[in-house]
Amino acid sequence: MQSDVTIIGGGPVGLATALSLEARGLSVTVLERAPAEMLAEAPFDGREIALTHHSMGVLRALGAWSHIPEVAISPLREARVETGRHNHPLTFDTRGRGVEALGYLVSNHLIRRALYAQAVQRPGITIKAGTATQYVRNGRGDMTVVHDGGEETSRLVVAADGRFSQIRRMQRIGAVMHDFRRSMLVCRMAHESPHHHVATQWFDEGQTVALLPVNGGASSIVLTLPPDRIEELRHMERDAFNEQIMQRVGNRLGRMRLVSTRHVYPLRGVYAHRFATPGFALVGDAAVGMHPITAHGFNLGLKGQETLAQEIGAAMERGEEIGSLSVLRRFERRHRLATAPLFAATNGIATLYTRDELPFRQLRRVGLQVADALSPFKNAVTNMLMDRQKSA
């Protein structure tokens, strides 16, 4: 037995899982295809993560939060949802809640660096970077992961290798996959008008735009269009690109200029048929890959690994085997309850708000007006966005 747990995938959720399990006294090996230098100095990938208060608590508990530069943490003081060029926006803010922000924006690559910096300090965690997993073999009472550098034998294998997980497929676990037939372009733009730390989700005809406020007089632009049009923008000359973005956001932030690289991601939702089999569990996007419209993907990933660690810790106290199906089923039930309703609702919202036929446009306008007038609804959504429950 080389380690208690082998984790396949050294992304943010995989590393968070390693830290959570090591904190419970387990030895953990992390296998990651990317080289160590890519983990230690993860490059900018365009994605800004809207962390809930609960997720910040998880990162603090894991020891990773202190590795994130304070200047890179941008508060979200208000969120607006708009549709069309002239509309009544649906707004969410922190008034009367005793906190300064709904949540906090942090670049994905900085979260990756922070979790890696913390993980390499932990004596119970071994990270084998530059290692490609070939297959997983279920033995009698243990699991063997065969990779291009040898084998790892452990009591439990956790796959955290993304929404297109090869390991999930190798374990013959299917998944519901929803292709939205759209791609998402993300980048940072500096602008002359202040954003006042207001995040805007704007559903315009033919496009969806998110404006996410970051420190330094800039915003992260998240533009959703059909893949061919996104590719045109991806390769467009810089000055022409700046003009295109200003036009697409309605010139609401004044003059804008590109200050980062451009990145494109396909929009596909994924929900695994199972989250666990004997000796094996899925976490992060390998279990549930969300449409980014509700900004809950990474937050749910952190919750999923937290739930897995809680159930494993409880099993250890009871003297149960950590890879037993009964233990992993308890994790699966809890994570399914936490994710299935939100996954279904998110897909429904994404479909409603990206269709441009007249009935859908009218329904959007009426829906936002009604929702903005319903205080109980707004309070419920605001509480979900903030998620202030304490981390374990």
SS3 sequence, 148-163?
CCEEEEECEEEECCCC
* Cα-Cα-Cα-Cα dihedral sign, residues 309, 311, 312, 318: positive
- Looking at the predicted structure, is the pLDDT value of residue 117 above 70? yes
Average pLDDT, the chain: 89
Pair of tokens at residue 219: 């915003």
DSSP code, position 97: S
> pLDDT-based confidence at 368, cuts 50/70/90?
low
Task: Give Cα separations from 373 to 29, 367, 368, 378 (angstroms).
Answer: 51, 10, 9, 8
> What was the pLDDT predicted at 90?
79
> pLDDT-based confidence at 360, cuts 50/70/90?
low
- Residue 334 corresponds to which amino acid? R
User: What region does 22 belong to: left with phi over 0, alpha with psi -120 to 50, or beta?
Assistant: alpha
**Cα–Cα dist 69/73, whole Å:** 7
- Looking at the predicted structure, is the pLDDT value of residue 372 above 60? no
Q: Tell me how far apart the 2 most distant CA atoms of the chain are, in Å.
A: 64
12: closest CA among 171, 47, 190, 388? Answer: 47
**Cα–Cα dist 169/231, whole Å:** 29
Tokens 């899925």 identify what position? 282
Give the pLDDT confidence of 264-299 residue by residue, as tens digits. 999 888 999 999 999 999 999 999 998 776 667 899
Q: What are phi and psi of 177, to 5 degrees?
A: -125, 125
> Of all residues in the chain, what percent carry a pLDDT higher than 70?
86
- Looking at the predicted structure, is the pLDDT value of residue 378 above 70? no
> What was the pLDDT predicted at 205?
78
Give the pLDDT confidence of 121-133 residue by residue, as tens digits. 999 999 999 999 9
- For β-strands 74-76 and 125-128, DSSP reports them as unpaired
> pLDDT-based confidence at 10, cuts 50/70/90?
very high
**Cα–Cα dist 102/78, whole Å:** 7
- For β-strands 256-258 and 175-191, DSSP reports them as antiparallel
